[in-house]
Amino acid sequence: MTQNPRLWSLAGRLMTRLGLGLSLLWLAATAFAALVTTHEINEVFDSALQETAQRLRPLVVEHLREHDEAGAPDANDSEFAPPHQEYLQYQVRDAGGTVILHSHDAPPEAFAAPLQTGFADIDGQHFYTEVTKDGQLFIQVGEARDHRAEAIWDSLIWLALPLAALLPLAGIVIFRVVRQGTAPIEALRSEMESRSGSNLDPLPEADLPRELMPVVHGLNHLLLRLRLALEHERSFAANSAHELRTPVAAALAQLQRLAAETGGAAKRERVQQAIMSLRRIGDLAEKLLQLSRAESGMSLDNEPADLLPVLDLVLGDYLEKPEIRSRLVVDLGDVTELVAAIDIDAFAIVVRNLLDNAFFHGAPSAPVRVSLGADRCLRVSNGGAVIPHATLAELTTRFKRGPTSATGSGLGLAIVETILQQAGYNLRLQSPATGMKDGFEAIIDLNRPPT
């Protein structure tokens, strides 16, 4: 079934919106975590600066006291702290700002940080200054902002990566959950799609979610109304056709008797015209009865049966008519049985309509061929002018007739197609006929189409 590209998918919309919603929540959670992580890391690093300065204060005082007794100390603390990669640098300055002691990676020049207790950000560095109790020494510990930013980014990346890795898994879970959640909709669609046009039974309501119940109730109510309307229409057509048969038959008998008793060629000709008109009305009534039976579903849900005896019986009836016997050519090949799931009476109606169509609308002197091959296709062909493809496609429409001067109702092929479609089989029409340069051929394909 071709789908309209402008139609939207409920499952697709749910998956898209759930996926986008989850992604937005993930981004919001990541942003919040980044803010919290940045705040916490800054607090930890600030605490480390402050703790380092406070721990250095007594050590520096003791170190300077020892050097005062031994002589002036070296400003570089390599002896005090062996060289290593420093993330934190410090300087010890006196009240005048002179650098007395510094770590091995710290510059000999004084930090730009002011000599007062507290934090300061200067030239891409973050400082904390601690003062001794006598106010004569200032311990300043500094850290590069880049190092802190690198630590924050590393923490955020390792926080975000596991969450990002979970997004595809979450997408798979959303896909499966949505598919399972919309499975009743798909089951309902399959149930409706598998039905033929004549199946107006209520849709099953068991195991349906609460959200679908109003839809199914509405559809079942609509199906009930349609079934009642079609039953009334078919009943009216069948009753009308049935009621017409008796008066038409009586009037036809009276006209035939009148024709035998009437003298004069002109009068007898007028009576014959009236007889022909009544016969057409009778044929139309018969076709309407057949159409009513076909549309009532007479070929639905039938057990497989051998149709070959039915075909032999119908062909035997035609072969008993002298005017037809000479034109009917039958070739059933080596087929010994023809099993198909279709009502045998409906199949007989199909064959009779195809034969009537071939004899009445084909070339008067051309043979009518009935053949059955190993491909389970029954073919009925007749001679006559080639029918254009556009006209050929419309011949199964009710009251549509091809280019013929013969009388008819235009219902025969419509009846045939209705019966075969209900049984699940196909009718194919082609012109010219197989192996001919002209003519018309109707093919009944009794192979089940793939489901």
Could you read off the pLDDT of 17-53 as tens digits, one per residue? Answer: 888 888 888 788 878 888 888 888 888 888 888 888 8
338 and 217, same structural domain?
no
CATH of the domain at 291: 1.10.287
Please check the confidence at residue 228 and state whether its pLDDT lies above 70.
yes
Tell me whether residue 292 is in a domain. Answer: yes
Cβ pair 111, 91 in contact under 8 A: yes
322 and 266, same structural domain?
no
Distance CA 288, CA 296 (A): 12
Residues 34-43 as b or e (16 or more Cβ within 10 Å = b): beeebeebee
Cβ of 437: how many Cβ atoms within 10 Å?
Answer: 7
Nearest to 241 by CA among 294, 308, 183: 294
217 and 131, same structural domain?
no
Q: What is the pLDDT of residue 37?
A: 81
Distance CA 395, CA 390 (A): 9
Write out the residue range of the structural domain in which residue 124 sits: 11-167
Which residues is 446 bridged to in the sheet? none
Q: What is the pLDDT of residue 403?
A: 61
Please check the confidence at residue 241 and state whether its pLDDT lies above 80.
no
The model's pLDDT over 330-389, given as tens digits with 9 standing for 90+, comes to 888 888 888 888 888 888 888 988 998 888 888 888 899 999 888 889 999 998 888 888
Tell me whether residue 189 is in a domain. Answer: no
The token pair at 331 is 């070739």
404 and 288, same structural domain?
no
Residues 6+ apart with CB under 8 A from 382: 358, 359, 361, 362, 363, 366, 367, 368, 369, 433, 439, 440, 441
The model's pLDDT over 280-293, given as tens digits with 9 standing for 90+, comes to 666 666 666 666 66
361 and 219, same structural domain?
no
263 and 316, same structural domain?
no
What is the radius of gyration, based on Cα positions, of the chain? 49
162 and 17, same structural domain?
yes
Residues 6+ apart with CB under 8 A from 420: 299, 342, 350, 426, 427, 444
CATH of the domain at 149: 3.30.450
Q: Which residue has the tokens 């979610």?
A: 209
pTM over 0.75: no
The token pair at 276 is 């022909």
404 and 433, same structural domain?
yes
Looking at the structure of the chain, the number of domains it has is: 3
Average pLDDT over residues 101-106: 81
Sign of the C-alpha dihedral computed for residues 407, 408, 410 and 412 taken in this order: negative
Q: What is the pLDDT of residue 234?
A: 62
Nearest to 248 by CA among 274, 268, 267, 287: 274
310 and 291, same structural domain?
no
Binning pLDDT at 50, 70 and 90, where does residue 1 land?
very low
* DSSP character string of 168-193: HHHHHHHHHHHHHHTHHHHHHHHHHH
Tell me whether residue 151 is in a domain. Answer: yes
Strand pairing report for 99-102 and 118-122 = unpaired
Average pLDDT over residues 93-110: 84
Tell me whether residue 172 is in a domain. Answer: no
Distance CA 421, CA 298 (A): 11
Domain closes at, from 296, 316, 331: 296
Distance CA 243, CA 240 (A): 5
Cβ of 101: how many Cβ atoms within 10 Å?
Answer: 22
Cβ pair 382, 440 in contact under 8 A: yes
Tell me whether residue 4 is in a domain. Answer: no
Domain closes at, from 296, 327, 354: 296
Write down the mean pLDDT value for the chain: 78
Residues 6+ apart with CB under 8 A from 88: 48, 49, 52, 103, 141, 142, 143
Q: What is the pLDDT of residue 78?
A: 47
- Report the phi/psi class of residue 295: left, alpha or beta, with left for phi > 0 and alpha for psi in -120 to 50: alpha
Tell me whether residue 192 is in a domain. Answer: no
Residues 6+ apart with CB under 8 A from 12: none
Binning pLDDT at 50, 70 and 90, where does residue 442 land?
very high
Domain closes at, from 246, 271, 296: 296
146 and 202, same structural domain?
no
Tell me whether residue 131 is in a domain. Answer: yes
Distance CA 139, CA 166 (A): 48
Sign of the C-alpha dihedral computed for residues 386, 392, 396 and 398 taken in this order: negative
Tell me whether residue 353 is in a domain. Answer: yes
253 and 321, same structural domain?
no
- What residue ranges in 327-392 does DSSP mark as E strands? 328-331, 339-340, 368-372, 377-382
Size (the chain), residues: 451
CATH of the domain at 382: 3.30.565.10
139 and 59, same structural domain?
yes
The token pair at 251 is 């009037």
The token pair at 64 is 């300077």
